[in-house]
Chain A
Amino acid sequence: MEYTLWILILPLLGFLSLGLLGTRLKGKSAGYIGTALLGLTALLSYFTAWQYFSMDRVDGIRQALTPVNWTWMRFTDFLHIDLGILLDPISVMMLVVISTVSLMVHIYSLGYMDGEKGFQRYYAFLGLFTFSMCGLVVATNIFQMYIFWELVGVSSYLLIGFYYTKPEAVSASKKAFIVTRFADMFFLMGILLLSYFTKTFDFGLLCDPANQSIFASAAGKTFLGGAVLSWATALIFIGAAGKSAMFPLHIWLPDAMEGPTPVSALIHAATMVVAGVYLVARLFPVYFFFTPEVLHGIAYVAAFTALYAAIVACVQTDIKRVLAFSTISQIGFMLVALGVSSMGTVDNGLESHEGLGYMASMFHLFTHAMFKALLFLGAGAIIHTVHSNEMSRMGGLRKQMPITHITFLVACLAIAGIPPFSGFFSKDEILTATFMFKPWLGVVMTFIAALTAFYMFRLYYNIFWGKPAQHEHPLHEAPKNMTGPLVFLALVTVVAGFIPFGKFVSSTGAAYIIHLDMKVAITSVVIALISILIAWKFYCKGTSTVPAKMAGFFGPLYTAAKHRFYIDEVYQFITHKIIFRCVSQPLAWFDRHIIDGILNGIGWITCRGSLAFRWMQTGQLQSYALLIILGALILLCISLFC
């Protein structure tokens, strides 16, 4: 299946050609070239998926394939960075997700970005991003993943900063890059630590349950009180947390909404932010077999993040911010599912239900990518018309924008977990898995799910119902090339829940049959419906005074949530006050004044010393002669008499 290489090459080709040709391309031709290449990529991905999933299983287990693997750089005899393609259920699934969403975004952007300055640049960057993201998911080893991990970071940076004349966009892009880079540093440290003991980067070797001797050298080794392996996997998780915006590294994601909305849909909702989830899933056997405590830690961090983000999302007024926090919250769901999961055992070609969490996580990743992209694209269509991100500038849009309205509603229902939309199925599996792990965690997650339903419908009612705002120009439905992707994604959202996902993706590779746990399902649906009802009551008419009263009632909590619990301020404090003021500036001062001062001091002393001796150098030959004679005589005396 070497042709899968073209999945990477085509978007890269798009990036290079559009990037080099630049502004020489007239009109929308850059967009058409990019979209066409991406279309081919998507077709190839679908074909790959079809071919891969229709392959025979061995002992009921799907086998991983590496059609391509080159040694790119050799460090030592056993450590080398390979560049290759690894096809296994999750990577193929990711390829489908990425190429689908990317294609939709490409098409959508033809309308959305029409007439923007830097249209070519935009498509070039999209190509770069798609290339890097595909490279990331097909990575055969952890270092290849790191490489593409960095590349997606850069493409995200470039795309967030697309409107580079806007100071907010610039600082947002900077923030995104630096925060993720900070996390990547830990990722790199984790890789170094892991590879030092296992002597390999290769996923195939790391994740093979049969080949666990490579971890033997790490056994019993501790560093600062923790087992080295735990350190390694925890560090790697920090890297994942940075990309996936887990608390407290989430701060870049809401700001990243300064980028063009389709970019938010592609990168900051559907694909790049789930890279962390993907990484944990990729290394799941390592986490599960060697450092289960880290895996559980991941679950708690993720659950906390999900809760935090859901609360914050309830009070935001910028629609893209609401969606951003919702994304953080949903990624929290996925990681919780991974964290609570166990490795399934294969029995008779079927996987036992211990592996539920893993499957649920991947399933949710899949469905979430679709409906969250849909939400963002819908939001983009609205922003495109309204020219504002603020809820207060919207209201009653359902009449002007019927298609957007319907598709948005579908997505909202999906994320709220209402059957038969896809979100219901995946979220339900996650809740079930959580209840299996720790019931109290299940309760928390259910509460978060309720919050999700509430804030999504708060958003929905505020945009499409409520009081219409005043606009100078008539509002209109988005053009066809924008509504097309919306409709497509909405259709996917409607049907995706019925995909027997466990048959394709599971922790062991064996088929997993999904059962609906009716208790959990019914509870969660009921709670979601109640939340929606509350949202309807509060926001549908736009006249209810309850929200304001609630805000008053919760007072400090409301204000804190509105300011995202001041995490940004804390960061601001740490970076500016501590790092810049207390580290960098003193260091620079130290350099200029102490180290340089010592040097200049040496120079000064030399000068002074010379001046002190200068009287001897009268410039008069006679004095010199006197000194010479005296000196010669003294030397003579010494040599004679001593």
Chain B
Amino acid sequence: MNLLSIFVAIPVLMLAGLFLSRTRQQARIISATGASLLMVAAVALAFLFMAERHAGNTAEMLFTASAQWFPAWNIGYSVGVDGISVLMILLSAFIVFTGIFTSWNIDPLPKEYFMWFCLLSVGVFGFFISLDLFTMFMFYEVALIPMYLLIGVWGSGKKEYAAMKLTLMLMGGSALLMLGILGIYFGSGATSMDIMDIAQSTIPTALQKYFFPLTFIGFGVLGALFPFHTWSPDGHASAPTAVSMLHAGVLMKLGGYGCFRVAMFLMPEAANELGWIFLILTGISVVYGAFSACVQKDLKYINAYSSVSHCGLVLFALLMMNTTAMTGAIMQMLSHGLMTALFFALIGMIYGRTHTRDIREMGGLMKIMPFLGVGYVIAGLASLGLPGLSGFVAEMNVFVGSFQHADTFHRVLTLIAVTSIVITAVYILRVVGKILYGPVQNPAHLKLTDAVWFERLPVVVLILAIAAIGLYPSWIADWIHTALEPIVSRLTLAAL
């Protein structure tokens, strides 16, 4: 079996195991074991990848394998990874791992919950390893559908509304995406669904102009592109903790990943020509999300709008189409994935104790639960771009890279995007100040306890990952650089 298929196989096996499990404890053990295995596999993959590159293997995609499963349409299961995919797989493994522990005490129906969760992971991992447009799309859908039930059944608040909205909007995106994929397939001569093969042939520019926006918006909906982002606040606010983590941490990255892997890579001419429209939209996302976050009262809403802002920055940087900015975009994906997962994990833990997410009803929690408080502060600092944590390196790559653009329009937009770092500071500090500092608002909170081991574990793991990227960014930067080379060169070529 291909090395990469392990990432699909493990969650599938987990599913089977969960199906047979009888008790909550069994379900937990199976999930935790599976998640740990995934983590080990992801780390092993990273090392193997590194070894392979070190040995001088300069192929664009490593560990490739391919098998046709629907020859009539040239649909195959072809897999392969480059540096970016490996990082995304690592990220997903981290989030799944921590997500499992965060949902340790999920209620009701733990078995079913974990099963849907595993199905979601199948989709996520499958998406990142796929090189075949249709298979990719299939895994994409597999990742989206469980969300409906996970939110609708285990969510809180207006969960039915949120689940419906989220699913419908993302499905709407998928519909556009499907059209885009078909456009790419037929535009490239209808001989292969494999991205690498399609990249060999060129799609006529006239066709690209129709299908690039479709594909970009299709993925952009998941990447919280303004004005298609409104599923995010409601969806995140209603979802159970681990689902929010996985959704904001990994699923939203599917959008960004798809945007450059499919839309920009395969249709570079249109990307150059129409990029400015989306650049404006993403620029709006960045500032708009940050401003909106400033006045929210629900912790999860704040974080959801912050995600809109941060993910907007991802797409923004991708559209700048130079290596530095795109590196920043990938780093931002990782960084945002980790820290937003951390945020949601902490919010979930806090909510589990205080039973409120309204920031006006909390205060002085730092004194009551110092561990969670410190974790929250660190997540906040990462989010507002403190050097030494991952947010900083990502943002700086984005800003410096974007500002290297020769066009004044792009540079001015960059300056506008830079303002988000202040607004981010405003809403992060507002929350931290309100809920963690100050006098205790509700005397009943004084009896609350700090985190226990299965809550500490994900928090610590995520913080370590954030710090690792923040302190030593060059290793991932190198991978990303190498992986971006073909994409950037195609884009530059197309620009001429």
Asked if the two chains touch in their complex, CB atoms less than 8 Å apart, one says yes
The B394-423 residues at the A interface (CB cut-off 8 A) are 396-397, 399-401, 403-404, 408, 411, 414-415, 418-419, 421-422
Segment of A245-253, A416-424, A516-524, A591-599 in the binding face: A591-599
Using Cβ atoms and an 8 Å threshold, which residues of chain B touch A148?
A: 387
- The answer to whether A196 and B404 touch across the interface, beta carbons within 8 angstroms, is yes
Q: Tell me if A218 counts as interface (CB < 8 A to partner B).
A: no
Residue of B at shortest CB range from A575? B426
Q: Tell me if A587 counts as interface (CB < 8 A to partner B).
A: yes
Supposing A185-B418, A584-B294, A587-B288 touch, asked if A75 and B381 sit within 8 A by C-beta, the answer is no
B460 vs chain A, min Cβ distance (A): 11
Q: Tell me if A72 counts as interface (CB < 8 A to partner B).
A: yes
Using Cβ atoms and an 8 Å threshold, which residues of chain B touch A170?
A: 433, 437-438
Using Cβ atoms and an 8 Å threshold, which residues of chain B touch A151?
A: 386-388
- The answer to whether B295 and A164 touch across the interface, beta carbons within 8 angstroms, is no
Residue of B at shortest CB range from A603? B168
Residues of A near any B CB (own CB < 8 A): 71-76, 79, 81, 143, 146-148, 150-151, 154, 157, 161, 164-167, 169-171, 173-174, 177-178, 181-182, 184-185, 188-189, 192-193, 195-196, 223, 579-580, 583-585, 587-588, 591, 595-596, 598-599, 603
- The answer to whether B422 and A584 touch across the interface, beta carbons within 8 angstroms, is no
Complex Cα spacing A267 to B230, Å: 43
- The answer to whether B438 and A167 touch across the interface, beta carbons within 8 angstroms, is yes
Q: A71, A75, A591: which contacts B401 (Cβ < 8 A)?
A: A75
- The answer to whether A178 and B425 touch across the interface, beta carbons within 8 angstroms, is yes
Complex Cα spacing A185 to B414, Å: 12
Supposing A580-B295, A596-B230 touch, asked if A185 and B421 sit within 8 A by C-beta, the answer is yes
Q: B227, B294, B411, B433: which contacts A171 (Cβ < 8 A)?
A: B433
Complex Cα spacing A102 to B408, Å: 45
Complex Cα spacing A151 to B411, Å: 26
Complex Cα spacing A161 to B367, Å: 13
- The answer to whether A185 and B419 touch across the interface, beta carbons within 8 angstroms, is yes
Q: A150, A189, A192, A591: which contacts B385 (Cβ < 8 A)?
A: A150
- The answer to whether A188 and B291 touch across the interface, beta carbons within 8 angstroms, is no
- The answer to whether B439 and A181 touch across the interface, beta carbons within 8 angstroms, is no
Q: Tell me if B436 counts as interface (CB < 8 A to partner A).
A: yes
Supposing A154-B381, A164-B366 touch, asked if A588 and B292 sit within 8 A by C-beta, the answer is yes
Complex Cα spacing A196 to B415, Å: 13
- The answer to whether B399 and A182 touch across the interface, beta carbons within 8 angstroms, is no
- The answer to whether A178 and B429 touch across the interface, beta carbons within 8 angstroms, is yes
Q: Tell me if B296 counts as interface (CB < 8 A to partner A).
A: yes
The contact string, 1 if C-beta is below 8 Å from chain A, for chain B 291-308, is 110111000000000000
Using Cβ atoms and an 8 Å threshold, which residues of chain A touch B399?
A: 188, 192
Q: Tell me if B364 counts as interface (CB < 8 A to partner A).
A: yes
- The answer to whether B429 and A177 touch across the interface, beta carbons within 8 angstroms, is yes
Residue of B at shortest CB range from A78? B404
Residue of A at shortest CB range from B308? A591
Using Cβ atoms and an 8 Å threshold, which residues of chain A touch B426?
A: 178
Q: A71, A164, A591: which contacts B436 (Cβ < 8 A)?
A: A164
Q: B364, B392, B419: which contacts A147 (Cβ < 8 A)?
A: B392
The contact string, 1 if C-beta is below 8 Å from chain A, for chain B 441-485, is 000000000000000000000000000000001100100000000
Q: Tell me if B360 counts as interface (CB < 8 A to partner A).
A: no
Using Cβ atoms and an 8 Å threshold, which residues of chain A touch B169?
A: 599
The B10-50 residues at the A interface (CB cut-off 8 A) are none
Q: Which 6 A-B pairs have the closest CB atoms?
A: A147-B387, A164-B437, A170-B437, A192-B403, A584-B294, A181-B425
Residue of A at shortest CB range from B371? A22
A275 vs chain B, min Cβ distance (A): 15
Residues of B near any A CB (own CB < 8 A): 165, 168-169, 227, 230, 233, 288, 291-292, 294-296, 323-324, 364, 366-367, 381, 384-388, 392-393, 396-397, 399-401, 403-404, 408, 411, 414-415, 418-419, 421-422, 425-426, 429-430, 433, 436-439, 473-474, 477
Complex Cα spacing A195 to B477, Å: 20
Among A165, A173, A598, max chain B CB count under 10 A is at A165
Complex Cα spacing A599 to B294, Å: 23
- The answer to whether A73 and B292 touch across the interface, beta carbons within 8 angstroms, is no
Using Cβ atoms and an 8 Å threshold, which residues of chain A touch B401?
A: 75-76
- The answer to whether B323 and A76 touch across the interface, beta carbons within 8 angstroms, is yes
A474 vs chain B, min Cβ distance (A): 31
A145 vs chain B, min Cβ distance (A): 11
- The answer to whether A174 and B429 touch across the interface, beta carbons within 8 angstroms, is yes
Using Cβ atoms and an 8 Å threshold, which residues of chain B touch A146?
A: 387
Residue of B at shortest CB range from A167? B438
B358 vs chain A, min Cβ distance (A): 15
Using Cβ atoms and an 8 Å threshold, which residues of chain A touch B404?
A: 75-76, 79, 196
- The answer to whether A73 and B393 touch across the interface, beta carbons within 8 angstroms, is yes
Among A170, A171, A223, A603, max chain B CB count under 10 A is at A170
Q: A73, A171, A188, A585: which contacts B421 (Cβ < 8 A)?
A: A188
Could you list 27 examples of A-B contacts with CB < 8 Å?
A75-B404, A76-B401, A76-B404, A79-B404, A146-B387, A148-B387, A150-B387, A165-B364, A165-B438, A170-B433, A170-B437, A173-B433, A174-B433, A177-B429, A188-B399, A192-B403, A192-B418, A193-B403, A196-B404, A584-B295, A585-B295, A588-B292, A588-B294, A591-B233, A591-B292, A596-B230, A603-B168
Using Cβ atoms and an 8 Å threshold, which residues of chain A touch B400?
A: 75-76, 79, 192, 195
Using Cβ atoms and an 8 Å threshold, which residues of chain B touch A166?
A: 438
- The answer to whether A584 and B291 touch across the interface, beta carbons within 8 angstroms, is yes
Among B288, B399, B429, max chain A CB count under 10 A is at B429
- The answer to whether B324 and A588 touch across the interface, beta carbons within 8 angstroms, is no
Using Cβ atoms and an 8 Å threshold, which residues of chain B touch A599?
A: 165, 169, 230
Supposing A150-B385, A150-B387, A177-B425 touch, asked if A75 and B324 sit within 8 A by C-beta, the answer is yes
Using Cβ atoms and an 8 Å threshold, which residues of chain A touch B165?
A: 599
Using Cβ atoms and an 8 Å threshold, which residues of chain A touch B438?
A: 164-167, 170
Given contacts A75-B400, A193-B403, A196-B403, list 7 more A-B pairs with CB under 8 A: A73-B393, A150-B392, A165-B438, A173-B433, A182-B422, A192-B418, A223-B408
Complex Cα spacing A307 to B369, Å: 46
Supposing A580-B295, A588-B292 touch, asked if A165 and B419 sit within 8 A by C-beta, the answer is no
A291 vs chain B, min Cβ distance (A): 19
- The answer to whether B295 and A588 touch across the interface, beta carbons within 8 angstroms, is yes
- The answer to whether B437 and A165 touch across the interface, beta carbons within 8 angstroms, is yes
Complex Cα spacing A196 to B402, Å: 10
Q: A74, A164, A585: which contacts B474 (Cβ < 8 A)?
A: A74
B420 vs chain A, min Cβ distance (A): 9
- The answer to whether A72 and B474 touch across the interface, beta carbons within 8 angstroms, is yes
Supposing A75-B324, A76-B324, A151-B388 touch, asked if A587 and B291 sit within 8 A by C-beta, the answer is yes
Using Cβ atoms and an 8 Å threshold, which residues of chain B touch A188?
A: 399, 418, 421
Complex Cα spacing A178 to B425, Å: 6
Complex Cα spacing A167 to B230, Å: 34
Among B168, B295, B367, B393, max chain A CB count under 10 A is at B295
Supposing A74-B474, A75-B324 touch, asked if A595 and B429 sit within 8 A by C-beta, the answer is no
Supposing A75-B400, A185-B418 touch, asked if A595 and B291 sit within 8 A by C-beta, the answer is no
Q: A74, A81, A193, A583: which contacts B291 (Cβ < 8 A)?
A: A583
Using Cβ atoms and an 8 Å threshold, which residues of chain A touch B415?
A: 189, 192
Using Cβ atoms and an 8 Å threshold, which residues of chain B touch A171?
A: 433
Complex Cα spacing A165 to B397, Å: 37
Using Cβ atoms and an 8 Å threshold, which residues of chain B touch A81?
A: 396
Q: A79, A161, A169, A178: which contacts B422 (Cβ < 8 A)?
A: A178
Complex Cα spacing A169 to B436, Å: 13
Using Cβ atoms and an 8 Å threshold, which residues of chain A touch B230?
A: 591, 595-596, 599
Complex Cα spacing A505 to B272, Å: 52
Among B169, B387, B388, B436, max chain A CB count under 10 A is at B387
Complex Cα spacing A189 to B402, Å: 12
Q: A169, A192, A583, A598: which contacts B414 (Cβ < 8 A)?
A: A192
B399 vs chain A, min Cβ distance (A): 6
Complex Cα spacing A181 to B392, Å: 13
Using Cβ atoms and an 8 Å threshold, which residues of chain B touch A595?
A: 227, 230
- The answer to whether B422 and A185 touch across the interface, beta carbons within 8 angstroms, is yes
Complex Cα spacing A598 to B165, Å: 12
